[in-house]
Structure formats: structure tokens, C-alpha cells
Amino acid sequence: MRFKIHLEYDGTPYKGWQIQKGQPTIQGELLRVATKIFKTENLEFYGAGRTDSGVHAIGQVAHLEVQTSLITDHIRLKLNEELPATINVLKVEKATPNFHARHDAIARSYLYQVSKRRTVFGRKYAWAVAEKLDTNRMKEAATIFAGMHNFQSFAADSPDDKSMQVALNFVDIYEEGNVILFHLVGSHFLWHMVRRMVGVLVEVGKGKLTTVQVNQFLNTLSPEPARLTAPATGLFLERVYYANEKIKREPKRLIWI
């Protein structure tokens, strides 16, 4: 039987989503707990997005393949009873036998949170940038990313990335109080791509990069975005979209600052 699992997690103590020998990971914890609950190793727990070390999620989706007589709500309750407090299953629903959390996804939505001041309570969930940022300059530069582009300058080497071509729906920037929120939606994202895009846009906000230079990064391979990679702390996988789901321009708001 196949189930669609909706979950959230604090990525701070984990080395990312994907299971790694000898390292704490989100997938590793889910497999450990599911093996205990269903008393079998003949199962599959596959996520829609392989978030990096330290990256969070408020809307990750995974599929669970296992033979069980438990109803969906009991599966959710049992998983949450065994999972650490840093991982929470929000919803479990039955899926079609061929549903694949990653391959069936049509778009992913990410949020990145920047704090305009040094913060104690938000230090795990935001990148504190002390320098003054020009939000209008960043918004102007962000429009350059929309559409289909070669993001080779924004991607770290990964065997999972077969092509550097990515279609971005939009990159929106919101400012509220001490928080600047970046909202990025696209077909998929390459390894470190979001963090490098945010790092570049922050440099634009500081007045250290121009929109002309940002455009050049998309047309010519450059090492500059890698040098400007934003920390993982502020990044959240907000939502995964599937067929017939309308992409929302207005993101969820984060509240930890």
C-alpha cells in the first residue's frame, strides 16, 4: 500500500533529508521509526525534495510504501509518537499505487528568511544581515530569474542534477518589520541553488552587485554565486505542488523573529 505523507521538520540537527550512513538525517529517522512500527524492513520512505544539511521544511511531502492494516490517522499518530520533536507528520492519506513524491511533483516552493537585526530567538531560522539592504533593488534583480534559464553558476556539483536548465515561476520578496522574506517557486531546484540566489540578491541589496552582473551569471559560468552562498539556517521547503494544484503567489508567513 502507498501513502502520501505531509510533514514538517527543523533541519538544524540533521545532515539533510537523504539517508547517510552514520549521520542523522530526516529520511533515516523516518525509516527507523517506520521499521519499528510496521515490524518490517520491506518498506520505502521517499521524499519530494532532498533538503540540504540544516535546511527546514514546513511542507515536505513523502510517500510511504508498506503493507499494513492501520488506517491513515493511526499511522500519523504512531509515527509522531516515535519521532523526535524536530520532525512532525502533519497528515497521512492514501495514494495511488504508482504515486511518487518526487517524480510526480510539478513545482516546489521555498522560503528564505533574512533578519535585518541580530536575533537570539531566530538564529536557527534566519540569516542575520547587519548591513542595510535596499529591498527595491533586490526586487528588480529578482525578476531576472523568472523563466527558463541555465543555473550552472548557482549550482553545486551533484550527480542527481542531470541538467542545469530550471524553469522558475517567480522570485518574490516581502518586507515586514525586521524580516525580509524571499519566496521562490520553480519546477525544481539544483543543489545549493536557492541559497546562492539569495546570497546574490543580498549583495544586490547591499549595493555590491548590479542587475547587469546578475544577468551575466545566468549567461556565463561564474564562481561568484558560490562565494556568496547564504547559510542553510534561513531556508524552508514551503510546499510541493502536484497535478491540478494551483501555485499560490502568497506564501505562508514565518513567525520566529
Termini Cα distance of the chain:
41
In the chain, beta strands by DSSP E? 2-9, 44-47, 56-65, 87-94, 107-115, 127-128, 147-150, 165-176, 179-186, 235-241
How far apart CA 13 and CA 81 sit, in angstroms, is 19
CATH architecture of the region 2-94? 2-Layer Sandwich (3.30)
All CATH 3.30.70.580 domain ranges in the chain, comma separated: 2-94
Q: Kindly list the distances between the CA atom of residue 212 and the CA atoms of 143, 192, 207, 209, in Å, as whole numbers in the listed order.
A: 12, 22, 12, 8
pLDDT average, residue stretch 186-195: 94
Average pLDDT over residues 157-171: 80
Task: Please indicate whether residue 104 is annotated as part of the active site.
Answer: no
Closest CA to 199 of 125, 97, 127, 250: 127
pLDDT of residue 120: 83
As a whole number, mean pLDDT of residues 29-38 equals: 97
The least confident of 17-31, 146-160, 202-216 is 146-160
Residue 171 contacts residue 142 (beta carbons within 8 Å): yes
Query: 128-136 long-range contacts, Cβ below 8 Å, gap at least 24?
Result: 129/202, 131/206, 132/206, 133/180, 133/202, 133/205, 133/206, 134/204, 134/205, 134/206, 134/207, 135/173, 135/175, 135/180, 135/205
Q: Please give the average per-residue pLDDT across 124-149, as a whole number.
A: 95
Residue owning grid cell 537585526: 117
Distance CA 79, CA 152 (A): 39
Among 121-125, 128-132, 198-202, 223-227, the minimum mean pLDDT is found in 121-125
Q: What is the model's pLDDT at position 221?
A: 93
> At CB < 8 A and 24+ separation, what contacts does 18-21 make?
18/47, 18/50
Tell me the mean pLDDT in the region 55-67: 97
Predicted local distance difference test score (pLDDT) of residue 118: 85
Length of the chain equals 257
Torsional class of 244: left (φ above 0), alpha (ψ -120 to 50), beta (otherwise): left
Asked if 73 and 26 count as a contact pair (C-beta separation under 8 A), the reply is no
What average pLDDT does the segment 227-252 reach?
92
Catalytic residue selected from 52, 134, 157, 160: 52
| Whole-number pLDDT of residue 34 | 97
Residue 73 has pLDDT above 90, yes or no: yes
If DSSP codes are grouped into helix, strand and coil, which group holds residue 14? coil
Among 11-15, 70-74, 97-101, 152-156, name the one with the lowest average pLDDT.
152-156
Query: For 107-241, CATH number?
Result: 3.30.70.660
Which residues are within 8 A (CB) of 82 and not within 5 positions of it... i.e. 6 or more apart?
33, 36, 37
pTM, rounded to two decimals: 0.94
pLDDT at residue 255 in the model? 57
Give start-end residues of each CATH 3.30.70.660 domain in the chain.
107-241
CA distance 217 to 221: 6
What is the arithmetic mean of pLDDT over 191-198? 96
Residue 72, CA distances (Å) to 3, 32, 53, 67, 86 in order? 8, 19, 29, 12, 21
**pLDDT reading at 212 higher than 60:** yes
